[in-house]
Chain A
Amino acid sequence: EAGVTQFPSHSVIEKGQTVTLRCDPISGHDNLYWYRRVMGKEIKFLLHFVKESKQDESGMPNNRFLAERTGGTYSTLKVQPAELEDSGVYFCASSQDGRGLNEQFFGPGTRLTVL
């Protein structure tokens, strides 16, 4: 069974440019989460999808970030325009059930560097 995949693994862009990160969850997982780790600090929750609907986007830092999950399958996270403080590692995770102890399975992350 394929795990959670993320693309690209690394992205280097200049301040003001746009970047789109992609996450493919494990097949059959309705729940998809985005997290990020900035500059060696703690990992922070960004948002949670249930199928194609945003269940909770309370962790999104500002309106420069836009997440979508078309058809309830893969998800994209767009940063436009990117700022220096957006640099970090963006993790995607998926789970079968949002509650209980259903494990969140993580992808390898996308390392974003904004110059």
Chain B
Amino acid sequence: GNSVTQMEGPVTLSEEAFLTINCTYTATGYPSLFWYVQYPGEGLQLLLKATKADDKGSNKGFEATYRKETTSFHLEKGSVQVSDSAVYFCALRLDSNYQLIWGAGTKLIIKP
């Protein structure tokens, strides 16, 4: 079946550290891939997306590249800030459907 696996958290880093949150997927067909973020007390927000292989999504200093050969969509940021502390969710959506299929979420804690 279709599924998303992302690294367990919490991930704790110091400010200005390099961030990687791993995400791999299993899907039939050619999914679109997403990263959503949930800041404390807020709803889910779309962070970035990619629709086809080798596409790179980017926003707010975060990047993720759609890697079909490794079925991955890892989230990276070169220098994290305290304000990046949140829960990050990787998700996919198939062309034939509209529902989002989610990973379990990774809590990120950035210490000053």
Which A residues form the contact surface with B (CB < 8 A)? 3-4, 31, 33, 35, 37, 40-45, 48, 56, 59, 91, 93, 95, 98-99, 101, 103-104, 106-109
Contact = CB atoms under 8 A, between A and B. Distances in A.
Contact of B45 (A43, A48, A56, A106): A106
B102 A43 contact: yes
Interface string B31-70: 0100010000111111001010000000000000000000
A109 B102 CA distance: 16
Given A31-B98, A45-B99, A98-B98, A109 B104 contact: no
A56 B97 CA distance: 10
15 contacts: A3-B43, A4-B43, A33-B99, A41-B104, A42-B4, A42-B104, A43-B89, A43-B102, A43-B105, A45-B99, A93-B44, A99-B98, A101-B51, A104-B100, A106-B43
Contacts of B36: 106
Contact of B46 (A40, A43, A103): A103
A20 to B, nearest CB: 20
A45 B101 contact: yes
Contact of A40 (B42, B44, B105): B105
A69 B91 CA distance: 26
B103 to A, nearest CB: 6
Contact of A108 (B42, B104, B105): B42
B39 to A, nearest CB: 10
A34 B41 CA distance: 19
Interface centre among B42, B89, B99 (most CB of A within 10 A): B99
A59 B2 CA distance: 14
A91 B99 contact: no
Contacts of B89: 43
B43 A108 contact: yes
B37 to A, nearest CB: 11
Contacts of A101: 32, 49, 51
A41 B32 CA distance: 22
